[in-house]
Structure 1
């Protein structure tokens, strides 16, 4: 089924060329159905790239999906034009009186800072608190997952000796949850981060379930037992070239960054990387939308 986004959004042409089923506002209003309303708090610096990555995965839905983008009012992004933000994004004050079926909080390049020292931390905690009553299910990605584990469950992150970057093997820890329905016992997913969360604290927490883990990359997927929060510590939404471009960016900055593990063919940074996690990325987002958003959200919010 289609995903409903503004036809002037840069991601629209990219996704249309990929044969993703899209719908603009004019066509959407002619359909007599109740769409899912998804709010995306985009904290990534290259917002247009993240928009495309997430919208691509949200397109594989059983229902029409309306998407709105949110940006922080307390921090001005330096990597996106203000006209783009004004045209396609809202601030929390503009949406705080609404209710949403689902919400995605992305990663952010602030993981080496203590949470309280992030410029928009107070604003983010206000949004996460609001989500408890105004959102059916929240999907948290990378630093967004670490922020959720810290704010909602008191689990802090710690700094790794070096950047964790590459494509890693993951294993299912709990095969009974619907979020992992259809997953292989072993699957691949990308990581790109300098910090980690203690897996043993997730396992020991009374309100959390560890769903999937990696021997090299640690805890990958966790979920609250009330099924309201899903935390993903990696970047399964990344496209094939994202890790490559991050690696080249780090090298250009003079950083001592290792070649992303098991990513480039023959470990050659000049070789074309392949996307070997796409199917599970689609499956994860489809399961989240179906079982934790569509099946759980009320038809009419009171």
Structure 2
């Protein structure tokens, strides 16, 4: 079994290696929790997003317990980026959320500083559109990724979807539903695996990747996944779908008002695809 949060720890190490002492001068200028997404803006103009884990905040039911859930409220601005990165491993899900958003913002900075990369980055592209569905091969989807489910159903392809809450699925989607405990057996036979980036947030991604057979096409996608891809590729991921923030202040305004991707894609942020180079 791999160490807890291995992908995140390695990703931070890659960021530190690229940014070096530049990291010491970077602070989070602004941080926002939204209904669907949470995000940060760095003092150098870069921004980053993460999924907001609403269902994983049972403490947030009254004022005293909510204060315990996010003890840094009112003190989120002008904290060092390093402290936000440390928060990823604090055990507090809300601190972790903003920490991952900070890691994603720093990753955007790294990409601009890297003269060469061992992978291809496409901007303004939906990761699902980059996948080829073979109706003769098994596919697996981890999370209620509705656009992907519709694509598989339309192609009449055999697949299973693993999701904690079956209520997030509808109609034909439910015919392919399996509980997450059934995932290991099915993942080992799937040729295409699509995984929600929320698995990074809840620390289940490494376990899932360990069950996937060698040579499978593996996509990890969502705003949480918008970070340097090296640690993912090392574990068999072939493609990442993330979000590149282009106008952080406007984006944070939108998500603070409960906005979703429909409100900001093409305006204040772009979908990106990071694909491992085929040798």
Structure 1-normalised TM-score?
Answer: 0.31
Structure 2-normalised TM-score?
Answer: 0.33
